[in-house]
Structure 1
Amino acid sequence: MDCRIADEYRDTHAGRVAGEILRKCVHCGFCTATCPTYQLLGDELDGPRGRIYLIKQVLEGQPVTAKTRLHLDRCLTCRSCESTCPSGVEYGHLLDIGRQLVEDKLQRPLNEALPRALLKTVLPEPALFGPAVALGRALKPLLPSVLADKLPPAAADARPWPEKGRHSRRMLALAGCVQPSLAPNINAATARVLDRLGIELFEEKKAGCCGAVRHHLNDQAAARADMRRNIDACWPHVEAGVEAIVVTASGCGVQVRDYGHLLADDADYAEKAARVSALCRDPSEVVAAEGGRLRALLAPAERGKLAFQSPCTLQHGLKIRGVVENLLAAAGYLLTPVADGHLCCGSAGTYSLLQPALSQQLRANKLAALTAGGAALIATANIGCLTHLQAGATTPVRHWIELIDEALE
């Protein structure tokens, strides 16, 4: 695709990256077949190809309109189109650039700006989000359904982390921002599983939000500050030889895996960011690498039917497919088929709060597919998907690592 980038963008990092991505696109339209919003709305501008044209127009200096912003806002950033694209177009990176350019050019009305400002202020800060969750649970009957849906019941007391200092192999876990308040047992369960496999997992309290919340709300300057803080927090452990940085929410994993790209133009952090990205691991990668030891520890058992919802960030972002399913099968679960498993559940970070109608349609479709095979349990790999599905499901929804932890007891 030819793009004559306007003078104001031509010599910028964003302009150069966007130009390279656009040149790969042959506008074949294969991406529309796997785009969730195109499937729902049937509008070319609500599919990847149409959005690419809109971003191209912005880069060429054409006027930015509210319509442009609307169609870019409706994108889930699920990257399903990237899995389908025969030309390797990095649509997610292009969308990030396009959204930021539109945000810089066009002021949002107050009814759109205020919720976004609140989300990017509260969600990434555990000191604010934790008390907000506690207050929300107390006032849940009074909250709008779109907010009440996001508040699962308080978790039962989590079992403790394993004793430290027992293993020579050590890995660092990213605690994140919302997961400690909504599902505090996930990282602890991961630590217990890895402990059984001869690996010590620990958290660094100075680390925080991975940057995805602010990044996808088009505050990329603040997101980059989040990334630099995490790199600074992790770096002493990297220098000390930590084997990996384990991120138990696949949405955060995609962001951390992208640090090297997102900070490539930062002379002070580019090299460190690339190193942190290279060390980033989803827990499924770590556990699968120890598959022989895991299977030796798993007692034979029939644990019933289970449906696995593979988050977009896991299958399209991290490109991990079939790994979690094999681990759950080894633990004794009978996995049921899930139709259209490549399509998004509608969570997509803050999308479910900002685009509730589309999000709830996608959730209803996903839950119908997940429960069609008679599964008694749904497993997932991302905190956003977990809370989103849980709100609409009658079937329990769990993080898969918790199920492996229980199977090892």
Structure 2
Amino acid sequence: MDSFEDKLTIDKYEDLVYMQAGTIYGGYDSDIFLQSIDEFTCSICHGVVRDPKIVVSCGHLFCTACIENIDIQKCPLDNSIIEDGQIQDEKFIKRLTLKKIVRCPLSKRLCEWEGELSSLANHLNECECFMIRCPNSGCESVVKRTNFNLHNEVCPNALIRCTWCDMKLKQLNYDTHVTSNCPLYPVNCPNGCDVEEMDRKDLILHIQNECTKAKVNCQYREFGCYEGLEKHERDLHYEEKMKDHLLMIKNNILEIQSEQDKLREDNLKLREESLKLREENEELRNITQNLDKTIKQKDKKLARFKDISCDQEERLRAIERVIFQRTRQDDVSDCEPEIANEISWWSTSSNEEVENTAEGDYNAWAYEQRVETNTSGLWSYREYPEQAELLWGSRANPILISMENSTNRSPSVESQQLLEVLRHDVSPQSELWTHH
């Protein structure tokens, strides 16, 4: 592993020695030379050439870093064309340059060193006036090399080793580590027993197994004994408090038995409630089944009622049409035999003639009969609403009422037959009325 001194870094060494041309470092700074050497100046960075190159065709000098960093086809100084192979190393001038005497770039900081240019790099690595950056992680300090050791002793980010466990850690964390975390740091028993210092890592086991003054709980704590004891007091405590402990155990057993009795009672109540709920559930199931049967019966009766209602509706419409045709004649009495014939024809289900009756004339007549009284003395809903509704309550009512209550004549035999047919089909005693 590298020594601590090997990690020391020089802060901007190049800025102190070299000239900068754009993004690169070119020749040497002419200020560090004791004598002027303008004849060795680079035409690009204007510093003293470093690793010089010469253009053979014109004899001009350039730093290697400067000339290689540009795409050059002509000499930057006189614009003469440079052909392939005309740029060559100038080793003689390099030797002359390295022999020149220079001063330390930090002479303004009271460094008095002077020597050949070839020795400058070694001097800067040892110069006591050179500023270096602290290598400790998290520290941004820049100090003189002569003061670095002093700085490192107090730097909070400097790495040091624990005296007891040899662990590396930052100096700022050392005190916390020693007082709280170091497993080998010597500590005393917090209970004040007679054991001498021990490693921190052994303290817990000592308190659990060896310390005679460690606080422990009475083994009858769960029964109600909450006295705090030291280990050496346990035997005496158990002997003195034996009766109390037995009484605590007895009371605890009685409490458990009482709770068990209560649980049994609660369990019995739950069973009774469960049986009761089962009975109620069974009763509700029976009621539901009976209701389902009743609904099915009602559905059957309703379907039968609909069939009968449709049949009676057709019969009433046929009778109304016959009456409509006959009442349009001037003398109603002359039509009574024909009405009887129509009834006889209707009862045999041969209703072709009725179906051929003009539907438009019939509808107009039916509306007129339900709105107001016609000239033949027939009753309507408007004149006799209560009688019509109480007697029949259907669309056949005006027919029956008009035939029974005609004030112009007494009903003939044919009319009486028609009334009997109507009463038989739509009277309250009929099957249609029963299923309403």
Q: TM-score, normalised by structure 2?
A: 0.14
- Which has more radius of gyration? 2
* Higher RCO (C-alpha 8 Å, min separation 6): 1
